[in-house]
Structure 1
Amino acid sequence: MGRLMRGMTALAALLAFGFASFESAAPPLRAAAAPHGVVVIPVSGAIGPASADFIVRSLQRAADEHAQLAVLQLDTPGGLDTSMRQIIKAILGSPVPVATFIAPSGARAASAGTYIVYASHIAAMAPGTNLGAATPIQVGIGGTEPPGGRGAPGLPGIGGGDGASKPSAAAPASGTSAASAASAALPLDTQSTELRKQVHDAAAYIRGLAQMRGRNADWAERAVREAVSLSAADALAQHVVDLNARDVPDLLRQLNGRTLVTSAGNVTLSTANAAVATLEADWRSHFLAVITDPNVALVLLMLGMYGLFFEFANPGFVLPGVVGAISLLLGLFAMQMLPVNYVGLGLIFLGIAFLIGEAFLPTFGSLGFGGIVAFVIGALMLIDTDVPGYGIPLPMIAAVAVFSLLFVLGVSRLALHARRRPVVSGSEALIGNIGVVLDEGLLAEPGATPGTGGTPAGWARVHGERWRVSSTAPLAAGQMVRVTARRGLTLTVEPVETLQQGERS
């Protein structure tokens, strides 16, 4: 057991070192960019830890290889607030100009994608694309509906009461009066105060980005407060984006000769005949995308807990402990990158503890039922965001809960069968065994009289071994005896007239 604990401690230290190296090291991305060329970074799907890591490393590579432009080809329904801000910080600090291009046709840059577009040096859209709907709840900060079902004016997805206003073309262009009206209409409670803080923070953030890039700040604030969206042509007409382009070559042709301001100074683009390199996600990005999927992270936590439980319940197997330790650390690593509700995570661990306790304690299902309930509630609460793609579906929760129940019932059944089996080792294993008297039999000790308490003693072969035995009556050599007790190195036996079927000898 001590060797196992030392081995698992060493494994944990190695994994911690590996994760630290994983965070600091940046493996090379595929495709080589020519000096003063153009780097294309395709991103599709929800903005999360994996996509943020890919974009940040791609921009760093573009700077290292002295590319003159990085094109972020974007198609996203939104994403996590922390990942979005990580991307925006990388764009604002990049010495290479970044052109965010919403493409191909049919793509969108909703929610978090709108902030990224506004942060970029160049904003472009392909025909048939749209952007907008940038409310904080959709970005993934979280939020709850005010009591009584009264939604904040202009906030989508929150039920409006009788006085709720609806967005329209006649809405005021400036967001200041709308913000004041929204603040006045909300009740003064904790939930509405939190909602106001989120909306005001997001509105100020995107307005600051718009002012930095010289784009339509009023519409940007409306995208936050009223969740409005625009098509490519309308976005160009309202100066939300800088240009429309059919594809990347058309975008580069239109950008040729433009001068942009970056963190390193002014950069004049010469993109008409520039070499174009498209970067692809490497193993690190794919690995992050897999483990930061909430479903995979939940399964890793389950495997980790049950692997360690099986190892501690059956020391010496080693493999369950190794797999459990790796899975648990990977699951916790993924959880620290996701917007996790720690109450939900605590309920999951409590539910697993109850299920494990059910295997050892005679609670007649009480702990098991409580463990299933705690686990299901915790899984429903685990991910604290409404961003598409980051929720745990009910079928997944039900499947893991059923698996947990079957696992615990299986382990309990094995433990019950093991308890019912006869003892096969130790002194208790000798009780009930059949032996045969050796030498001259069991005779009374020399000089013993009936009143002195002397007992017949001798030798017998029991369980293939030669034992000193004693009995209440003399026994002849070759007679069968049964062991009834053990005192030190002496066995107490009694005569057996006939050997019944099933008795051990």
Structure 2
Amino acid sequence: MIRAVAIVLLVLGLAGLALAAFDKEANAASGKALYMKIEGPIMPLTERFLSRAIEEADESGARLLIVELNTPGGLLKTTESMVDTILDAPVPVVVFVSPPGSRAASAGTFITAAGHVAAMSPSTNIGAASPLAGDGQRLLPENRASAFQRIESLVDRIVERRGRDRDALMATAENAASYSAHEAVDAGVADLIAQDVEDLLFRLDGWSVLLNGREETLDTRSLALFKIEKTYLEHFLNFISDPNIAFMFMVAGFFALWIEFVAPGALAFAPGITGVVLWAMAIVALGTLPVSAIGVALLVLAAVLLFVETQIQGIGYFGAAGVVSLLLGGLLLFGDFTRPDIQPPAFDPPTIRVNLFLVLAISLGMFAFLLFALRDIRKSQKTGTTASTTPDSVIGLTAVAITALSPSGTVTLGGEEWTAVASDERPVEQGTEVEIIKQDGLVLTVRQAGESPSETEP
């Protein structure tokens, strides 16, 4: 019986493989092209999207993949990876700088040139590929030399595989040269000009490309065009990988964790759980961005100093140092220490850094928190009533539940509100008098007034 089941499963598996192969051949025979859009800075998530599209085009038997490109540039490391992915693609990749008014600046220059066919719409431009720092400033001489070596190697690979004009490509990096669509075709950087995707397919018919060492002639007549969209996960990752969002997640996560440390167990551990989730998303976001180790170290130092300020009785030195560290850490989180150049770049490069006004707003908010909130926290730490509330002074006193305790909630003691937890985890109704039997920081453990210890112990 077991042998018969195994044979049936094997036959079904082979049949599935055969159907998949037949479907791929059928798609290729019927004529299918995939189409995707890349807009905005070139980042690691962009490379993942491109790799997925190429893989999907290959698996579905598509005749070619059209990449509509509009980018101000991006990371050199990601550009190198994307160029190699296109050069080794198992299906023809047509990079199309479109619609009119778009550009393939900086990193986009080499991505376009790496395509089996490089096409541009009228009123588009390509070039201005001088290497810059993440904050948009020109690199220091020693870093600039290293970057140019990598660009030269990248251009040589493109020239070898695609036959582009090397001098014209290098001029975009060495002299920030920029070409219009017609100039790019004349200079040997691009292959053709098309109005839109339909016009592009018309002009590609009969075009010969070199695909992994063999020459192929494109047949683009009556091709069915299918657009590849980003997945929900890719949209979410794009959202959190914004430097401003990543920074806000880090700061909000710190505050949530701080609340959990100050009032453990409050709100059913919601602050602690929220803090962990926010920090996890921040770490994921930082993994897609060029993070400065100094920026991260300053933010961690700020968190430590601000936490220390809330735990000891000082005169604000730790808090002030924490705010300064937060300000500097936010500004340097995605930047470096390049000096500004006298001559600005010839184009508007993508800047990967936290918005200055956002950092200032958060730092000022932190300063206000230190001035007002910490004063109240220390007051509650010092005086639970008009008398001193040292760890043993409130034990035995009677408070009133101003919210239901199920098992946690809020009680009032001497005109001040405290977080409280019922000792036996039995619900305590609002308005009930409770006796304090334990204090842990700003959290009180209570039982209903009049109950004996034996009644509250399991």
TM-score, with length taken from structure 2: 0.72
CA distance in 2, matches of 1:141, 1:399: 20
1:370 aligns with 2:370: no
Q: Provide the rounded CA distance (Å) in 2 between the counterparts of 1:229 and 1:114.
A: 9
- Looking at structure 1, the residues matched to 327 and 214 of structure 2 have their Cα atoms a distance apart, in angstroms, of 54
Structure 1 position 244 matched with structure 2 position 244: no
Partner of 2:118: helix, strand, or coil?
strand
Residue in structure 2 matched with residue 276 of structure 1 by the alignment: 225
Paired position in structure 2 for 1:110: 105
Structure 1 residue runs without a partner (length 5+):
1-32, 146-190, 434-462, 466-505
Residues 143 and 211 of structure 1: is their aligned pair in 2 closer, same or farther, counting only changes over 3 Å? farther
Q: Does 1:229 align with 2:191?
A: no
Residue 396 of structure 1: how far off its partner (Å):
0.7
Runs of 4+ in 1 over 6 A off after TM superposition: 423-427, 430-433
5 Å-filtered alignment, 1:25-174, equals: 35=28, 36-137=31-132, 140=134
Q: What is the match of residue 165 of structure 1?
A: none
Q: In the TM superposition, what is the alpha-carbon distance from 1:248 to its structure 2 partner?
A: 0.8
State how far apart, in whole Å, the 1-side matches of 2:172 and 2:283 are: 35
Taking the aligned partners of 2:128 and 2:301, their CA distance within structure 1 comes to 38
- What is the number of residues matched between the two proteins? 358
The Cα shift of 1:131 comes to 0.2
Shift of 1:255: 1.0
Aligned to 2:379: 417
What's the counterpart of residue 440 of structure 1?
none
Residue 309 of structure 1, aligned match among 243, 255, 258 = 258
* Code of the aligned partner of 1:375: L
Q: Greater CA deviation, 257-266 or 42-51?
A: 257-266
- Partner residue of 2:202 out of 228, 248, 253: 253
Q: Return closer, same or farther for 1:369/1:427 CA change in 2, 3 Å cut-off.
A: closer
Deviation at 1:225, TM superposition (A): 0.8
Name the % identity: 31
Give the 3 Å change call, closer, same or farther, for CA 260–416 of structure 1 in structure 2.
Answer: same
- Per-residue deviation, residues 414-438 of structure 1 (Å, max 9, x unmatched): 42232211378996457999xxxxx
Q: How far off its partner does 1:285 sit?
A: 1.7
- Partners of 2:384 and 2:394 within 8 A in 1: no
How big is the shift at 1:194?
2.6
1:128-169 deviation per Cα after TM superposition (whole angstroms, max 9, x unaligned): 11000111216x598766xxxxxxxxxxxxxxxxxxxxxxxx
Provide closer, same or farther for how the CA distance between residues 408 and 329 of structure 1 changes in structure 2, counting only shifts above 3 A: farther
Deviation, structure 1 residue 250: 1.1
Asked if 1:353 corresponds to 2:310, the answer is: no
Q: Is the 8 A contact 1:136 1:142 kept in 2?
A: no
**Can you list the C-alpha shifts for 1:230-267, whole angstroms capped at 9, x where unaligned?**
00111111211111111111111111122322238443
Q: Distance in 1 between matches of 2:149 and 2:137?
A: 13
For residues 440-493 of structure 1, the C-alpha deviation after alignment (integer angstroms, 9 at most, x for no partner) is xxxxxxxxxxxxxxxxxxxxxxx999xxxxxxxxxxxxxxxxxxxxxxxxxxxx
Change (3 A) 1:356 1:410: farther
Counterpart for residue 399 of structure 1? 361
- The partner residue of 2:275 within 317, 324, 330 is 324
**Equivalent-residue separation in structure 1 for 2:307 and 2:77 (angstroms):** 36
**How do 1:175-214 and structure 2 match up within 5 A?**
191-214=140-163
Q: State whether structure 2 residue 337 is matched by structure 1 residue 388.
A: no
Cα 1:250/1:307, change in 2 over 3 Å: same
Call closer, same or farther: CA 1:464–1:294 in 2, change over 3 Å.
closer
| Cα displacement string for residues 394-417 of structure 1 (whole angstroms, at most 9, x for unaligned residues) | 111011212333444454234223
Q: 1:239 to 1:246 in 2, by over 3 A?
A: same
Q: Which is worse superposed, 43-52 or 406-415?
A: 406-415
Shift of 1:341: 0.7
- Summarize deviations over 1:303-358 as a string: whole Å, max 9, x none: 22221121122111210000100111111121122111110111111112212222
The Cα offsets for residues 56-103 of structure 1, whole Å up to 9 and x where unpaired, read as 211111111011110100011111223222322321221111000001
Are 1:339 and 2:302 matched, yes or no?
no
For residue 167 of structure 2, what is the aligned residue in structure 1? 218
Q: Residue 376 of structure 1: CA displacement?
A: 0.9
Of the two, which has the highest radius of gyration?
1
* RMSD, aligned α-carbons: 2.8
Q: Give the Cα–Cα distance (whole angstroms) in 1 for the partners of residues 378 and 138 of structure 2.
A: 48
Q: Which whole-Å CA distance do the structure 1 matches of 2:395 and 2:321 have between them? A: 42
Asked if structure 1 preserves the Cα contact closer than 8 Å seen for 2:136 and 2:351, the reply is no
3-state SS, counterpart of residue 136 of structure 1: coil
Aligned partners of 1:141 and 1:406: how far apart in 2? 29
| 2:80/2:154 contact within 8 Å kept | no
- TM superposition shift of 1:381: 1.1
The one of 226, 243, 262 equivalent to 2:211 is 262
Structure 2 residue runs of 5 or longer lacking an equivalent are: 1-25, 339-348, 399-432, 436-458
Kept in 2, the 8 Å contact 1:133–1:224? The answer is: yes
SS at match of 1:220: helix
| AA of the residue aligned to 1:398 | L
| Residues 381, 431 of structure 1: alpha-carbon distance in 2 compared, 3 angstrom cutoff | closer
